[in-house]
Amino acid sequence: MRIALITLHRETNFGSVLQAYALKRVLQSYGHVELLDYTRPTHAGLRGFLRQVRSERGRWWSAKMVNAAIRAVEFAVAERRGFGEFFDMLCGISPQRFVGVDALRRDPPKADVYVTGSDQVWNPEYNQGIERAFYLDFGPASIGRISFGASFGVEVLPPDQVEPTRQLLRNYAALGIREPSGVALAEALGLSASRVLDPTLLLGLAEWSELTDGAWEEAYVLIYSVEEERGDQLGAAARSLADELGCAVWQVTANSGRYHRADQVDRLFSYSSPRQFLALFRNATYVVTSSFHGTVFSVVFERPFVSIAPPRYGERAKSLLELLGIENRYIEGSELPVKEVDWLAVRVVLEREQARSVSFLSSALAHASSRS
Question: What ranges make up the beta strands (E) of the chain?
Answer: 2-6, 32-39, 93-99, 113-116, 144-150, 174-177, 194-195, 220-224, 248-252, 267-269, 286-289, 305-308, 330-331
Report pLDDT digits (tens) over 303-323.
999 999 887 777 899 999 999
pLDDT at 264: 86
- Which of the residue ranges 193-202, 323-332, 342-351 would you say has the lowest mean pLDDT? 323-332
Q: What percent of the chain has pLDDT over 90?
A: 70
| pLDDT at residue number 72 | 67
Taking the C-alpha atoms of residue 114 and residue 142, their distance in angstroms, rounded to an integer, is: 11
pLDDT at residue 193, rounded to an integer: 98
pLDDT digits (tens, 9 = 90+) for 58-106: 554 556 666 666 666 766 666 666 788 888 888 889 999 999 999 999 9
Task: Report whether 58 contacts 118 (CB < 8 A).
Answer: no
Q: What percent of the chain has pLDDT over 70?
A: 86
Nearest Cα residue to 234 out of 208, 257, 205: 257
Angle separating helix axes 274-283 and 292-300, nearest 10 degrees: 60
CB-based contacts of 212: which residues, under 8 Å, 6+ apart?
275, 276, 278, 279, 282
pLDDT above 80 for 369:
yes
How does the average pLDDT of the chain come out, rounded?
89
On the question of pLDDT at 227 being above 70, the answer is yes
